[in-house]
Structure 1
Amino acid sequence: QNKNLLQLAINKPYESVGKDAAGLLFHLGGSQLIWNVINGKDTSLQNNLLGALASVGSKESVDMLQTIALSKKYGLSLRKQAAHKIGNSGNGEDRVLAILKNKKVPAELIPDVVASVSGAWLGSVRTEAASYLPDNGKSTTGKPAPAMPQLLALNANGAEGEKIFSANCNVCHQINNIGYDFGPKLSEIGSKLPKEGLLEAIVHPSAGIGFGYEGWVLKMKDGTALSGILASKTETDIDIKFPGGAHRQLKTSDVVSLTQMKQSMMSEGLYNNMSTQDLANLLEYLERLKKK
């Protein structure tokens, strides 16, 4: 079935089924089939397959992405695609920091390798990677958060704030059962926090992590690493959930180590993607969510 797994990984590169197919392909000794595509001439197939490999997160998949990115036998376009995907998994993040520290990345690929960890939950990973940019990461420094008086001076629109929430927040939060079940539900958040408290929670999410929403890093026996929130844990089973509401059932015996994150699973700097008006609108919308 390896050829069918390969086709599934190519056809569904950014869906969980494509990632699982690619991971299973490695497990079943089908890595040569992947190399055949990478060494071929169809750039569309190559790019799709790299997309599936990016989230597998095993040592073999990260090794493959690193080899493609750093080998001069491949064209620069394919190398940049691989470099941009090395850090898309827990093991990949560790690898990115290692190859940057050991100066294995050529200058023209450093921005792509750094960009591959731009979605890392740990701010320390993003910051350390960015320090290797030619400008020492200055271009990625987040802008200061607007002060409360500045936000209150604006004419905030709650309806527009709801749109901002849908575009930026509902992948991790639910309001009235709309959105994804990952972080705390916010249907009545306006009864719990004033605008000042809401702003603080957005700008400094690690300052107050809700009980039961602590992030954990799991190192697995197969060499992969997972980051998420523990929905449940027993002596024999672990249920871990990820942004977007996805769950994964694990056997405790397959976990080598379980480490609690010091930082929140909510990334700092999310407000950098919003204008001051957008942030004011979002706070207005959230404050209106009162207990009925």
Structure 2
Amino acid sequence: MSEIAQGGLTTPGLGRGVRDIRQSSFLLKLLVRKELKVRYRGSVLGLLWSYVKPGVQFIVFYVALGVFLGLERSPRNPDGLPNYAVYLFSGIVLINFFSEALGNAARSIVTNGNLIKKIYLPRELFPVASVWVSAVHFFPQLVVLIVASLFAGWHPDAFQLLAAVAGFVIVALLATGLGLFFGAANVYFRDAENLVDMLLMVATWASPVMYAWTMVQAQLGSVAFSIYQANPVTIGVELFHYAFWFPTTDGSAAMPPNLFSLWLPLGLVVALLVLGLGQFTFRRLEGRFAQEL
């Protein structure tokens, strides 16, 4: 009895948040493997879909925007973006990671409802595992981006490589925080996953993935453009452009002002705040997951 008194009592169904994830790395690896096996069960191409889907997406956008709408620089269109193919694909790679990570994380608790009702394990593992699975799909696309950039004359310095890492970290933290928030909310309100779908549709076009940031600046005032620029996904995409696309240009292209002195720190702070909010909301709601599922 004295041992129980000394150890204290804990509320059933509540974990310790991020600390549980660190201490449950083996379970996290098992969940990632399970998700990958389930996703590609009966699939002929398997992990090759990580190349096929973004490849088709890139071709469609490149032809529609780069060729038909003239966003690519050419002798007939000197005002377009140089090496638009690299510009476009570097943005697509990161936005696809964000979309897949958040979309799957928002559904992860409901999808694993049977497992949650049978045994207890840190529930944060499910949204985090979804982000990790998306990272597994992200890195093959990153390899393709690196090879394409090398053919386009990519010669990065260490600072540009660090910018790519920073962009990925910001987007990964944001996706994890939003995944925790919407994953918990989706247990109680199934409209949450539909809201996430709309959010992802907006996110694809609300960041300079397929168009130049200068086009936005020309249409918006300074205040509205600052709000647009403060979006962590926008910051992550622009960091990827700086890392992979900017070294392949002739120097005539411009990057957003204060990208490193202001927007990178701000993007990291906002992503960490969203992660904290997601963790707080998840902990407040996870106690009744089993009953609600």
Q: Same fold (TM over 0.5)?
A: no
Q: TM-score range by the shorter chain?
A: under 0.3
TM, length-normalised to structure 1: 0.25
TM-score by length of 2: 0.25
Greater strand share, structure number: 1
Task: Answer 1 or 2: which has greater helix percent.
Answer: 2
